[in-house]
Amino acid sequence: MPIKFAGEFEVQRGPEDVYAFLTDPNKFCPLLPEFRGVTVEDAEHFTVQVNVGVSYIKGVANVKLHLAESQRPSRAQFKGQGSVAGGNVSMVATFDLMSVESGTKVAWQGEAQVFGRLTSVSGGLLEPLGKKQVQKLIDGLQAALHAASGGTV
Amino acid sequence: MSVDGKGWVGKAVPRKEEDRLLRGRGKFADDIKLREMLYLRFVRSSYAHANIVSIDTSDAEKIPGVICTLTGSEIASQTQPFIEMAPDPGGKIQDYPLAISKVRYQGEPVAAVMAISPGIADDGAEAVQVEYAALDPVVDAEQALTDASILHEEAGTNKVWGGVFEYGDVEQAFREAASVIEIDRMHFHRFSSTPLENNVVIAQWDPKDERIYYSCNNSFPSFAIQFLAAHLNVHIDRIRVQTSDIGGSFGIKITSYPQMAVCALASKKAGGRPIKWVETRSEHMISSAHGNERTFRDTRVALDKDGVITAITSRHIDDCGAYPRYEPLGCVIWSQVFPGVYRFKNARIDFSQAVTNKCPVGPNRGYSRMQHLWFLERVVDICAHELGIPADEMRLRNYIRPEEFPYTTPNGCIYDSGNYPKMLEVAKQLIGWDAWKKKQAEARKEGRMLGIGIGTTLDSGTNNFGQAQIVNPGAPFSGNSQGANCKLDIYGEVVVAVGSCPQGQGHETTAAQVVADVLNINPDLITVRTGFDTERNVHTGFSGTYASQFAVSGLSAVHGAAQKLKAEMKRLAAFVLKSKEEDLEFGVGGQGPEVRSKSNGKSINYWGMANIVNVNSAVLPVEMHDVTLNCRYIWRAPFKVPDIKRKYGNLTMTYASQLHIAVVEIDRETFIPKILDYVAVDDCGTVINPPIVEGQVYGATAHGIGAALLENCVYDSVGNMLTSTFSDYIPITAMNMPTVKYGHIETPSPHSYSGAKGMGEGGAAPIHTISAALQDALFDKRIFIDDSFNNPDSLFRALKGEIGRADDIVKVERRA
């Protein structure tokens, strides 16, 4: 079963700045929980490494991502595939940016599908764990954009 | 001779195997360690259905201690695809032991890494990079038959096999029926066997003599070598297979030949170094073999005014997983028990089998027949319930009657013997039927959900492999056979070798009992060789241990070999003792086992006879040079090739039967079904060794209870197996096994020399019995048990009305 996430938040930055931040792997990727590193191939392709651990299963996820859809500054969609802890993951993450009075409203949605050992041995834990990690990412994103704006929320 | 003078067959002779197994002195495949041995680890697919874009083994090969790797494309270049037993389109499927361009189930091996230690092999496997392009998975057999996403492009369809089995006059029976009951859908779930010992293979492709040596725990080696020789392009005599003690198989280890092939090819690549592969539990769960899953659609049952079933029609869809392997034999094997224990003569079953993106199936204990027997038992209980006939009475009205044996079924099988009403009577007495009925009535007044269920099943043993021709007219199989050798060794020891491959069934003991009776000596004086070895030259193409047949095929072969030996010993002794053969008697004297002359009082012991034949042969006259005291005998079952067009003929030699009764209560708070009482009554004809039979009944009962309540191979919608460890797949153990009351009756088989019937699979009787008990517990809530697996979650959902709603499943038309 695919794990689906969605939500929205607002930041005090204009859509152009937010878009630039979200599509820059060197800025965005370090916000991922358990981030280990990123290798940027070109403006639209990069590989991110994060630590993954569910209970006693621990490993490193290597996910190749590319900017599959780009409508500057209103929409960005990343698609990726990679290996994780003896299995594989495929994912899609979409950000829709809308200009609002206070800055930008970011509506985001993601879908991840995990294949292999991780699902087999800890399938029931994946969704809550994933949601927790996504929330960390969004919190980090908000904080980073806030800090970058130099203002207060 | 035994103390009571009645022989050893039928006695509770202690198992000869017990001493070494209980003291930890058994020798299993994993105990074998060879010089320069390498350890193999498979790289397995995480996807259920995907194209392989690339495989990069270079990082693995750089790891110190990794000797080499192997991929599917390397294998494809030097082998043939495995033989398929299906006709086209199933016959077009190309099955290799490592995936080549595509993976078709999660856990499918895509590469192998060979290293100097298991740990380094693990590291190597982790370092292999495989890039996949995911495809739409198909995890449901009915969906697979739509061919929306095809697993094997070369076949062009997911349907492996299809055929209609029709007998009698179905239409007339429905026209004349007093009532017709329709059941929309029922489902028999997927589970496995979880033997204590997983698969193990040690293979060596010896470059010096170009022979392949296997030590393994495959349970049907003569079948495996036929597949391996053709696949590896080697003469079959160049493959030697040895087994020793085996920690359970239950049929699942029959299909380990793909892994055996990889190990041999890995050894070849590694320059002839021996390769050892020891399967982990998770590997076993996701990729060894599961039992067949089956869905029953559009069932219609015609009944007369007394509730006697006169006809059944139904559509059955079998899910064989990603590769057929032993299939499509399961598409006909179920018909060995076509009417179950019932008398109906008119039936039409439209049977199909499909591949899905799940682990391939294998012949799991009760193979293919238990699914059908569960279906019939559900039909009987649902009809009884709808017509208001008590479950025991419904069975008595429909059972084949004792006086009708030998009974010919609508499809030509000949049930040898049985007495199902008697078994029911014994089981009811053992469980205290009337007392439980009273307790049940009281419990229901309190709102408790307490049910009593009956399951009556058959364990058909000793196959006629001619039934393979019903699914594939070109299949070169028919009949059945087994080999054995009985000899006096050079020092006069009696040594027996059999072509079976025991995994705890006590073959050493029962074979010794049979020979002891022939030679009139104690079983302790007989050595029965452990395990299987192609070089003993006692195997035929059917040799192995499967399909409830040793008591008939194995012991008939042993009996034949012992008789041959006895005849030679008589000739020799008559010559030496200067006596007539008819004056000779066999027994034990002051110098051990001997043959003595009643006419002149002279005797010769076994050492003396063996000495003359083997090392003192100058004393033998030329006319006795054919006496070897080393006698091979091949037993052949008296089968004929079935009528392929009509799908008619005798498919099995013996029919052991089981009748179980369970009392089950569903907890009102937790929905946990608890077994309050359980009885298993068995009839396997003449019992050769009562404790061994009783042990097998307990084992089969445990297996069935586990399957009914605990064990389920669950896949998600994309083909991830969610129950790949014992955290999620809960096997039955001594800790969660209820107390079972055991009873037996004996209706000797007229089809075997001893009256014995093959046994040990138990027809998965507990699955039927527990389904029936749960049905009875929920009788007043309009819930039907339409699935063979029932755990607290499914019962909770049923009680919430999410599943099992009678009005969605069953329709009743009363005409009279």
- What pLDDT score does A152 carry? 37
Please identify which residue in the block is written with the tokens 């950000």.
A95
Q: Would you place residue B788 in the very low, low, confident or very high pLDDT band (cuts 50, 70, 90)?
A: very high
- What pLDDT score does A151 carry? 42
pLDDT surpassing 90 at residue A113 = no
Mean per-residue pLDDT for B156-171?
98
pLDDT surpassing 80 at residue B5 = no
* b/e map B207-216, b = 16+ CB within 10 Å: eeeeebbbbb
- What pLDDT score does B44 carry? 96
Q: Would you place residue B176 in the very low, low, confident or very high pLDDT band (cuts 50, 70, 90)?
A: very high
CATH 3.30.365.10 positions along chain B are 18-25+481-636, 161-192+289-466+642-814
B132 and chain A in contact, CB less than 8 A? yes
pLDDT surpassing 90 at residue A125 = no
pLDDT surpassing 60 at residue A150 = no
Mean per-residue pLDDT for B733-756?
95
Tell me how close the Cα of A1 comes to any Cα of chain B, in angstroms. 6
Average pLDDT, chain B: 96
Q: Cβ–Cβ of B716/A115 closer than 8 Å? A: no
> Which position has the higher pLDDT, A43 or B533?
B533
CATH 3.90.1170.50 positions along chain B are 32-135+196-248+252-287
Query: Which residues in chain A have Cβ-Cβ distances shorter than 8 Å to B722?
Result: 119-120, 123
Helical ranges in B520-653 per DSSP H: 555-577, 606-614
Query: Which residues in chain B have Cβ-Cβ distances shorter than 8 Å to A87?
Result: 46
ipTM: 0.82
- What pLDDT score does A123 carry? 63
pLDDT surpassing 60 at residue B67 = yes
- Number of C-alpha atoms within 13 angstroms, CB side, residue B350? 7
- What pLDDT score does B1 carry? 61
- What pLDDT score does B498 carry? 95
What would the DSSP string read from start to end of B187-235? EEPP-----SS--EEEEEEETTTTEEEEEE--S-HHHHHHHHHHHHT--
- What pLDDT score does A32 carry? 83
The CATH number given to B18-25+481-636 is: 3.30.365.10
The per-residue pLDDT for range B419-478, each reduced to its tens digit, is 999 999 999 999 999 999 999 999 999 999 999 999 999 999 999 999 999 999 999 999
Give the chain B residue nearest A116 (alpha carbons).
B46
Contact (CB, 8 A) for B259 and B97:
yes
What is the C-alpha separation between B311 and B566, in angstroms, rounded? 52
Q: Cβ–Cβ of B126/A86 closer than 8 Å? A: yes
Domains of chain A as residue ranges with CATH: 3-148 (3.30.530.20)
Q: Cβ–Cβ of A120/B132 closer than 8 Å? A: no
Contact (CB, 8 A) for A120 and B724:
yes
- How much is the pTM? 0.94
Tell me how close the Cα of B732 comes to any Cα of chain A, in angstroms. 19
Q: Cβ–Cβ of B134/A117 closer than 8 Å? A: no
What is the C-alpha separation between B241 and B257, in angstroms, rounded? 11
The per-residue pLDDT for range B75-104, each reduced to its tens digit, is 999 999 999 999 999 999 999 999 999 999
Contact (CB, 8 A) for B562 and B267:
no
The CATH number given to B32-135+196-248+252-287 is: 3.90.1170.50
Domain B161-192+289-466+642-814 falls under CATH 2.20.28.10: no
The per-residue pLDDT for range B637-661, each reduced to its tens digit, is 999 999 999 999 999 999 999 999 9
Mean per-residue pLDDT for B216-230?
97
pLDDT surpassing 80 at residue B665 = yes
Give the chain A residue nearest B134 (alpha carbons).
A90
Tell me how close the Cα of A70 comes to any Cα of chain B, in angstroms. 23
- What pLDDT score does A83 carry? 83
- What pLDDT score does B780 carry? 87
What is the C-alpha separation between A106 and A99, in angstroms, rounded? 9
pLDDT surpassing 50 at residue A153 = no
Q: Would you place residue B582 in the very low, low, confident or very high pLDDT band (cuts 50, 70, 90)?
A: very high
Q: How many CB atoms lie within 10 A of CB B279?
A: 21
Q: Cβ–Cβ of B106/A113 closer than 8 Å? A: no
Looking at chain B, the whole-number percentage of residues with pLDDT higher than 70 is 100
The per-residue pLDDT for range B283-308, each reduced to its tens digit, is 999 999 999 999 999 999 999 999 99
- What pLDDT score does B429 carry? 98
pLDDT surpassing 80 at residue B544 = yes
> Which position has the higher pLDDT, B474 or A145?
B474
Mean per-residue pLDDT for B400-423?
98
Q: Cβ–Cβ of A120/B720 closer than 8 Å? A: yes
